[in-house]
Amino acid sequence: MKALEASSPQPASEILERDRKAEHIQLALDHQTQYGDSFFDRLRIEHCALPELHLDDIDLTTDFLGRRLQAPLLVSCMTGGTTGATRINRNLAEAAESCGVAIGVGSQRKALEDPVTAASFEIRRYAPSVPILANLGAVQLNYGYGIEQCREAVEMVDADALVFHLNPLQEAIQPEGQCDFRDLASKVGAIASDLEVPVIVKEIGCGISRSVAESLIAVGVSIIDVAGLGGTSWARIEAARADDVNLGELFVDWGVPTPVSLQGLRGIEGITLIGSGGVRNGLDAAKAIAIGADLVGLAQAFLGGATESAEQAREKIERTIRELRIAAFCSGAGDLADLQNVRIQGLSGA
C-alpha cells in the first residue's frame, strides 16, 4: 500500500478551515488515509436463488434509543467545531432525517471549551425525529470532565445518548494527545449510572475485543460500537499532522478488524451491537448484520457528499439502503432478524 506523503493534501472544499478539526476533515477525505484492505471483501453471504419474497416487502425498520429507524444505519460521529463542520453537520442531519437513520456528531470537547463553536454541533432542528448521539472522548474523564460536562454535551445537541469514544492509538500519535487512560472503565460506568440518557462506547478504528466489551458491560454499558480496523486510519491522519509519516505506517495495521470484532462480541446477552469501521456500502452493512450487528455505522462513505450538499448526502444514504435491501432479498432475508441468521462464509480470521 502506498504510504501517505508527508505533505498535507489539498483541501477537499473551500469551506474547510485550517485548524485541527478542519485538518481531520481534509485528511479523512483523502484516499491515502484509508486503510485500504476491506475485510468485508473476504466475506460472502450465501446466495438464495429462491427467496420467496418481494423486494419491496423487505422490512429494514428497527428501533434504536426509543425511536423508529427506516433502516439500521448510523451516520457515525465525525465532526464539529469549525465553520466548515457546521455546514457538513447540517447536510448530514437533513439527509439522516429524510432517510430515517440515526446520526452522531463529532467530539464536543471543543464546544465545551469554546462555546462559540457550539452552533456547529446543534443539529436537532434539522433532524427532529431521528436519534442523535452526543460525543466526548472517554479520556476526558481523566482531564477534568465529569457528569456536568457530559450533561452539557447531551443538552447541546438534544441527544438521545452520549458516545464515549476510545482512541488510545490516536492520542498516542496526535501532537496534542492526552494519554492518561487509567481507571476509565469505572469512570465511564459512573457516568452511565448517573446520566439521564444511555451511554454508548465506541472505538474510532481499532476495534473492541471481547475482554474490553465485558469490562464495559460490567460497569453498566449496554451499547457498544466496535469501530474496527478497516476504514479511516487515524494513525495515518495524526502522523501526517505530526509530520511523522513513518510512525503512522508502522501502526496502520494496529487493531481488530471490524468483522473479527463483531464475531467476538456476537451472542453477548443484553447489548446492542453497532458495526462500523471500513463499512463502505450496503453490501458491507448486510455482512456486518449477518455477523451480528444490530446497527451499522458509516462515516467516510457519507462525508464526501456532505461537504457539497444535503442532497448528495441523502442520495448516498438512499443508495446504501437500496444496496442493503438487495443483499437481504438475495439472501432470502425478509427482515433484519432473518439477515442476522443467514449463512456467511470467510469469517475465520476475517
pLDDT digits (tens, 9 = 90+) for 166-207: 999 999 999 889 999 999 999 999 999 999 999 999 999 999
pLDDT above 70 coverage of the chain, percent: 90
Q: Is the pLDDT of residue 252 over 50?
A: yes
In the prediction, which pLDDT does 347 show?
81
Mean of the pLDDT values across residues 115-141?
Answer: 97
How sure is the predictor about 279, in pLDDT bands with cuts at 50, 70 and 90? Answer: very high
How sure is the predictor about 31, in pLDDT bands with cuts at 50, 70 and 90? Answer: low
Lowest-confidence segment of 80-94, 148-162, 245-259 by average pLDDT: 80-94
In the prediction, which pLDDT does 34 show?
74
The residue assigned the cell 500500500 is 1
User: Which residue spans within the chain are E strands per DSSP?
Assistant: 44-45, 62-64, 67-69, 73-75, 102-104, 132-137, 161-166, 199-203, 223-225, 272-276, 295-298, 344-345
**For residues 225 and 99, what is the distance between their CA atoms, to the nearest angstrom?**
21
Mean of the pLDDT values across residues 27-44?
Answer: 78
- Computed over every residue of the chain, the mean pLDDT equals 91
**Grid cell locating 7:** 505533505
CATH H-level, domain 44-345: superfamily: Aldolase class I (3.20.20.70)
Q: Is the pLDDT of residue 95 over 60?
A: yes
How sure is the predictor about 13, in pLDDT bands with cuts at 50, 70 and 90? Answer: very low
Lowest-confidence segment of 13-17, 135-139, 262-266, 327-331 by average pLDDT: 13-17
Q: Is the pLDDT of residue 39 over 70?
A: yes
How sure is the predictor about 8, in pLDDT bands with cuts at 50, 70 and 90? Answer: very low
pLDDT above 90 coverage of the chain, percent: 84
> Quick one: CA dihedral 235, 121, 297, 269, positive or negative?
positive
Q: Are 205 and 231 in contact (CB under 8 A)?
A: yes
What 3-state class would DSSP assign to 162?
strand
10 Å CB burial of residue 70 (0-12, 13-18, 19+) is middle
